[in-house]
């Protein structure tokens, strides 16, 4: 730790209440925090569906789940219990008002974060609840043609506020050995014993007038071009499960080449992803899961936000290719050429 701030914390609360991919991208932050505050207990507050990301992480002492579906009274009780634990300070990893408010309610103005310039209301709440914070002018960067800082680098802004000179560690997830064994068993039972290409069935495939048939065409093309590879399609809950059911009907003629898997806990899903030689996705949670497992990835981003998203949430320290999601036929060709490149490199 540097000398810009005099702290010897015993208990630190970190709040990250957004999506799966962002939490995975926070793992270099957690390692830096642990390495610099070795005597501190690090507690992380997350959403229920993302909690599995941090299981067995040696840089974290405790994972708490925020009761999103609880009543107002139950949430107040939850916050009161956290206040009693008297954290030395809290860290809001998401630069959003909800996270600033929770930080303030739990630790007062003993909070650290950063704020995006140009979001007037959020900036106002940040100043009221936490105080002056480091600012990142994302819109200004985009308008001037500058590259937006990666999400990992953005979180390092907070470490620097704590006097820490951050190290760019890779992403980390700690998959249970049983999950790898279950993945091997599933693949063996389905005669998937060789090389595999993975693709995640995110709802983001079906935006901008794309259809389930367009997505099926990509899968069919991958199966055709890479005839000696098994094709593994993964999916999560809700709309992704619906997509999985629909795409099964489109792929019935080649179902012996394709394995569609979902409804798993995070560790078992990661175990399946780890068996892929390349992984393709429009969903950054799946991309960053593959990245943390050192699997080369093909990242497909929406055309309208490509300049921003392909920089801030691009794969971290792994071989990858980025694609702008525009016309289905063009994307189909780009996915195949990207897979070829990654398999050769």
Per-residue tokens: 234: 């993964």
pLDDT, mean of each 10-residue run, the chain (345 residues):
57 95 97 96 96 97 96 96 95 94 93 90 88 88 91 96 96 97 95 93 94 96 94 91 93 84 94 97 94 98 94 96 96 98 94
Q: What is the 3-state secondary structure (H, E, C) of 276-336?
A: CCEEEECCHHHHHHHHHCCCCEEEEEEHHHHHHHHHHCCCCCCCEEEEEECCHHHHHHHHH
Give the 3-state secondary structure percentages of the chain, helix then strand then coil, rounded to 5.
Answer: 45, 15, 35
DSSP string, 214-272: HHHHHHHHHHHH-TTEEEEEEE-STHHHHHHHHHHHHTGGGTTSEEEEES--HHHHHHH
Burial of 188 (0-12, 13-18, 19+ CB in 10 A): exposed
Kindly give the pairing relationship between strand 229-235 and strand 11-15: unpaired
- For the packed helices 151-161 and 27-36, what is the interaxial angle rounded to 10 degrees? 20
- For the packed helices 177-189 and 266-273, what is the interaxial angle rounded to 10 degrees? 60
Which residue ranges form the domains of the chain, and what is each CATH number?
A: 11-161 (3.40.50.2000), 178-344 (3.40.50.2000)
- For the packed helices 328-344 and 212-225, what is the interaxial angle rounded to 10 degrees? 30
Report pLDDT for 2.
35
CB atoms within 10 A of CB 235: 26
Instruction: Specify whether the backbone of 294 is left (phi greater than 0), alpha (psi in -120 to 50) or beta.
Output: left
Report pLDDT for 64.
98
Global pTM exceeds 0.95: no
Q: What is the dihedral of CA 318, 321, 325, 329, to 10 degrees?
A: -140
């Amino acid at each position: 730790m540097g000398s810009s701030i005099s702290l010897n914390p015993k208990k630190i609360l970190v709040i990250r209440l957004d999506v799966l991919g962002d939490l995975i991208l926070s793992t270099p932050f957690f390692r830096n925090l642990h390495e610099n505050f070795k005597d501190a207990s690090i507690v992380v507050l997350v959403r229920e569906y993302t909690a599995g990301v941090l299981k067995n992480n040696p840089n974290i002492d405790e994972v708490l789940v925020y009761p999103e579906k609880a009543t107002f009274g139950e949430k107040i009780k939850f916050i009161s219990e956290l206040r009693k634990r008297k954290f030395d300070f809290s860290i809001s990893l998401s630069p959003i008002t909800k996270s600033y408010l929770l930080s303030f309610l739990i630790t007062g103005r003993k909070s650290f974060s950063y704020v995006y310039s140009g979001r007037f209301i959020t900036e106002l709440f940040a100043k009221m609840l936490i105080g002056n914070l480091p600012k990142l002018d994302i819109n200004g960067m985009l308008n001037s043609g500058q590259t937006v800082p990666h999400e990992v680098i953005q979180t390092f802004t907070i470490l620097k506020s704590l006097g820490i000179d951050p190290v760019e560690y890779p992403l980390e997830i700690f998959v249970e050995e049983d999950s790898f064994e279950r993945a091997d068993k599933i693949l063996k039972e389905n005669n998937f014993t060789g090389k595999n290409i993975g693709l995640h069935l995110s709802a983001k495939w079906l935006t901008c007038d794309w259809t389930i048939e367009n997505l099926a065409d990509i899968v069919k093309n991958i199966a055709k071009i890479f005839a000696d590879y098994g094709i593994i399609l993964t999916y999560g809950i809700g709309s992704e499960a619906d997509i999985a059911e629909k795409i099964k009907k489109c792929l019935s003629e080649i179902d012996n080449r394709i394995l569609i898997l979902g409804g798993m806990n995070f560790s078992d899903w990661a175990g399946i992803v780890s068996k892929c030689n390349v992984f393709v996705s429009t969903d950054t949670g799946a991309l960053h899961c593959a990245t943390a497992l050192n699997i080369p990835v093909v990242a497909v981003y929406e055309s309208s936000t490509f300049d921003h998203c392909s920089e801030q949430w691009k794969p971290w320290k792994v071989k990858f290719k980025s694609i702008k999601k525009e016309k289905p036929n063009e994307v189909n060709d780009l996915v195949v050429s990207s897979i070829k490149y990654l398999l050769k490199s």
